[in-house]
Chain A
């Protein structure tokens, strides 16, 4: 039973390019969360999604960042026109539903902007 799958594990982008990070939740999980971990900092909440719905995006930067969780396929975190400050580890977590408390994290995608 596969856990939360994130890919790619490592992603290098030049400034101005687009970065797409993918997260496939655990089987049976319909809730997805994205977090960003900046170097030497803690985990910062970005966005909480259910299938085809954004529930809470209060942690998302206002520009260049977007997230989706379509009916079919993985959740995608998209960063347009990346800048050096976007370099970080991005973690995805999934859970079966609100209040379930069963959060499983992926191994993360390490984005490096050069």
Chain B
């Protein structure tokens, strides 16, 4: 079945540091890929997405590129802020048959001033 392997946390960085959160997937066919963010005490919000190979999703300074050859969708940001502290989830959606959402386990990110 489909699976998403996400970099384990927690991750602690200093403000303005470079961020990478790794995400790799296995799926039947070519899934759509997403990053969702969960701020403390809140629900999940879509951060960015890519629906086909080589697509790059970007939002709020975050970027991720759909790499078919490495089955990866790593999340990056050049300079993190304290307000980026949250839990980040990588999500794969396979359109093969009944649509099924497969989440990674989430990575808790803490940014210290």
Q: Which residues of A contact B (CB under 8 A)?
A: 6, 31, 33, 35, 41-45, 48, 55-56, 91, 93, 95, 98-99, 101, 103-108
Contact = CB atoms under 8 A, between A and B. Distances in A.
Nearest to A110: B41
Dominant secondary structure of chain B at its interface with chain A: strand
A105 B44 CA distance: 6
A104 B34 CA distance: 12
B40 interface: no
Interface residues of B, number: 23
Interface string B33-70: 01010000011111001010000000000000000000
Contacts of B99: 31, 48, 95, 98-99
- A56, A93, A103 pick with most chain B CB within 10 angstroms: A103
Interface in B73-103: 89, 93, 95, 98-103
